[in-house]
Amino acid sequence: MGRKVKKVEIKEEDYKTLKMWERSLKVEKRYSQRAKVILLSGEGKSLKEISKIVGLSWQNCLKWRKRFEEEGINGLRDRERSGRPLKIKGELRTKVISLACSPPPKGKTVWSVRDLAKAIGIGASSVHRILNEGKIKPHKVKYWCGRSNDPEFEKKQAQIVGLYLNPPENALVLAVDEKSQIQALDRTQPMLPMKEGYEKRLTFTYKRHGTTCLLAALAVHDGKVEGRCIDSQNHKEFLAFLKHLYRKYPRKELHIIVDNLSAHKHKEVMSWVNKRRRLHLYFTPTYSSWLNQIEIWFNIFSRDVLKGGVWHSKRELVNQIMDYIKYYNENKAKPFKWTYTGKPLAA
Q: Are residues 315 and 220 in the same domain?
A: yes
Structural domain boundaries enclosing 259? 153-331
Q: Are residues 199 and 294 in the same domain?
A: yes
For the chain, which residues score pLDDT lower than 50? 1, 347
| pLDDT score for 25 | 78
* Interval 7-23: pLDDT, tens: 888 888 889 899 888 88
Q: Are residues 212 and 260 in the same domain?
A: yes
Q: Is residue 82 part of a domain?
A: no
Q: Which pTM does this prediction carry?
A: 0.68
| pLDDT score for 1 | 46
Q: Are residues 207 and 270 in the same domain?
A: yes
Q: Are residues 124 and 243 in the same domain?
A: no
Give the CATH number, domain containing residue 278.
Answer: 3.30.420.10
* Interval 55-83: pLDDT, tens: 999 999 999 999 999 888 888 888 776 66
Helix or strand or coil: residue 177? strand
DSSP 181: E
Angle (CA) 321 325 326, round 5°: 120
Q: Are residues 187 and 319 in the same domain?
A: yes
DSSP string, 271-326: HHHHT-TTEEEEEPPTT-GGGSTHHHHHHHHIIIIITT---SSHHHHHHHHHHHHH
Q: Are residues 237 and 304 in the same domain?
A: yes
| pLDDT score for 347 | 45
- Is 40 exposed, middle or buried (CB count within 10 Å of its CB: 0-12, 13-18, 19+)? buried
Total count of domains within the chain: 3
| pLDDT score for 294 | 96
